[in-house]
Amino acid sequence: MSTSESHLRENPYELAREQLRRVGERFQIDAGTIAVLGACKKAIEVAVPVRMDDGTIRVFQGYRVQHNVTRGPAKGGIRYHPDVVVDEVRALSMWMTWKCALMGIPFGGAKGGIACDPKSMSKGELERLTRRFTTEIINDIGPEQDIPAPDVGTDGQTMAWLYDTYSMNKGHSVLGVVTGKPLSIGGSLGRVEATSRGALFSLRNLLERRGDTLVGKRVVVQGFGNVGSLLARFLQQEGAIVVGLSDSRGGVAARDGIDVEAAFAHKAATGSIVGLAGSSPVTNEALLELPCDILAPCALEQVITEENAARIQAPVICEGANGPITPAADTLLESRGTLVIPDVLANAGGVVVSYFEWVQGLQEYFWTEDEVNRRLDEITSRAFAAAWELKEREDVSLRLAAYGLAVQRVADATAIRGLYP
C-alpha cells in the first residue's frame, strides 16, 4: 500500500453536495428534492481478502455506491487507487448521475473502488482481487441493476475478469453486466477513446461558438493515462500545440511543442514521460500554471484549489478528470473570466459509449466505429448546446448551467415517479 500523501485536500462528497446546493438555490429546486438527491441510495463496503504471490494474505477495502437510479440502472466505473475512500466514491457516483442526465442517457450514477496500489501488484494478484471483489458485490450489480466500467487504475482486462466472474456465477455469458470490455468479448469499437473524444468534441463546440478552431492553440494536459494521453494525441492531430504533459511521476514542458507520439513511445519504454527528449522537467503542480490557451486536467480530483487558482493562466479549462476544481477555486476562476467546460460535460464521452456498448450487448448487434463516433458527437454536441443556451439565457457559468440541466432532469423524474410507499 502506498504511504504517499492523499491527493484529496477536502471531503469530495461534501464538495459534491455543495455543488448541488448551489444548483438548487440558483434554479429554485425544492429543498426536499435537493435533500433526496444529496443522499446516496446505497453504499456497499466489503472486505476483499487476496492471496498474494508470496503466499501471504492481504485484506483490501472495497466499495460500490449507487447514488440514484430514478432514470435507469446505476452506471459507473471501478477505481483501483491507494487513496480510495467511501466519500470519494460517493462523490463520483453523484457526478455520474448528473453526467448521465445531462447526456440524456437512461442511467443513474454509481461508482466503485478498491483501496490498493495496482502499480505494485502482479497481474495474478489483480485478477484475484477483481474476482473476489466481484463475488462480494455480485448481488448488487447486473445489466438491469448496476453496470460497472473502467476508471483510474483499471482497464479492459479488469472488466474481462469481472464479466467472466459474474457470468460463471450466473451460468451463462451476460454481455451487459459491464462495459469497457475488450472487443473480443463484446466490447464496443470507440470505447477506449470515448472519454478523450468527447472532450475533443466539447472543445470544438466551444471554439466554434467563438468562430475559432484548435489550430495553433497552446495546450497543457495534466495526466497521461487513458484520457489525457489520447486527448493530447487528438488535440495535436487537430493542429493544437501541446506544450505540457505529465503523469504521476512528473511533467515535461516544451515552448515549441511536444511530439505526443514520442511521449507515447517514451512512456512505453520507460514507464513515464519524465525525461522525454526535447523537453524540460516540470512538477505536476507547476504544469497547471504554465501559460497556455487550454488547460486539460485529466488525472484526479482537487488539483485546482483555492490555493493555486489565482496562478492558473489558461483562459479555458477542460475537465477531463472528475472534480479537478474545488467549488472555492471555481468561484475564483469565474471571477477572473476563466471558462470551464465542466466534468459532467467534458468527460461524459466514456459513459455515452458505455451506454452504446450496453445497448449493443443487449441486442447482440454491434456498430461500426464511425457510427459510434458519429452518435457520440451528436449526443455531446446536443448536450453542449443545451448547456450553452442556458448559460447565455440565465447569465451563469457553464458549470452551473450544465449541472442545472442535469439536476433538474433528475428532479423532474423524481417528482413524476413519486416517493414509495
Question: What pLDDT, in 10s, does the model give residues 138-183?
Answer: 999 999 999 999 999 999 999 999 999 999 999 999 999 999 999 9
420 within a domain of the structure (yes/no): no
Question: What pLDDT, in 10s, does the model give residues 100-135?
Answer: 999 999 999 999 999 999 999 999 999 999 999 999
Question: What pLDDT, in 10s, does the model give residues 10-48?
Answer: 899 999 999 999 999 999 999 999 999 999 999 999 999
136 and 208 part of one domain: no
Active site residues: 111
188 within a domain of the structure (yes/no): no
210 and 315 part of one domain: yes
Cα(223)–Cα(100) distance, integer angstroms: 24
**Mean model confidence pLDDT for the chain:** 95
Find cell 466472474 and name the residue.
Answer: 165
pLDDT of residue 5: 61
372 within a domain of the structure (yes/no): no
60 and 106 part of one domain: yes
Amino acid identity at 81? H
Q: What is the mean pLDDT of residues 81-106?
A: 96
List, in sequence order, the alpha helices (H) in 250-397.
260-270, 284-288, 327-335, 343-346, 349-363, 369-394
- Structural domain count of the chain: 2
161 and 18 part of one domain: yes
Cα(107)–Cα(78) distance, integer angstroms: 16
CATH number at residue 143: 3.40.50.10860
At 300, the pLDDT band (50, 70, 90 cuts) reads: confident
Check if the beta carbon of residue 118 is closer than 8 Å to that of residue 80.
yes
Range of the domain at 89: 12-172
Q: How far is CA 330 from CA 8, 107, 130, 205, 327, in A?
A: 16, 27, 36, 21, 5
Q: Provide the percentage of residues in the chain whose pLDDT is more than 90.
A: 95
**Which of 311, 346, 381 is the last residue in one of the domains?**
346
C-alpha R_g of the chain: 20
- H/E stretch holding 253: strand 250-253
Q: What is the dihedral of CA 137, 139, 143, 148, to 10 degrees?
A: -10
Q: What is the mean pLDDT of residues 264-293?
A: 95
* Whether pLDDT at 3 is above 60: no
Q: How far is CA 366 from CA 357, 360, 372, in A?
A: 8, 5, 10
Cα(90)–Cα(13) distance, integer angstroms: 6
CATH number at residue 239: 3.40.50.720
pLDDT of residue 9: 74
Q: How far is CA 407 from CA 35, 111, 208, 255, 401, in A?
A: 12, 18, 27, 41, 10
**Which of 330, 346, 362 is the last residue in one of the domains?**
346
pLDDT of residue 394: 96
Residue closest to 332 by CA, chosen among 311, 347, 316, 346? 311
pLDDT of residue 6: 66
**Which of 138, 172, 206 is the last residue in one of the domains?**
172
148 and 283 part of one domain: no
181 within a domain of the structure (yes/no): no
Which of 10-24, 43-57, 203-217 has the least mean pLDDT?
10-24
Q: What is the mean pLDDT of residues 296-314?
A: 93
pTM of structure:
0.93
Residue closest to 279 by CA, chosen among 302, 306, 260, 298? 260
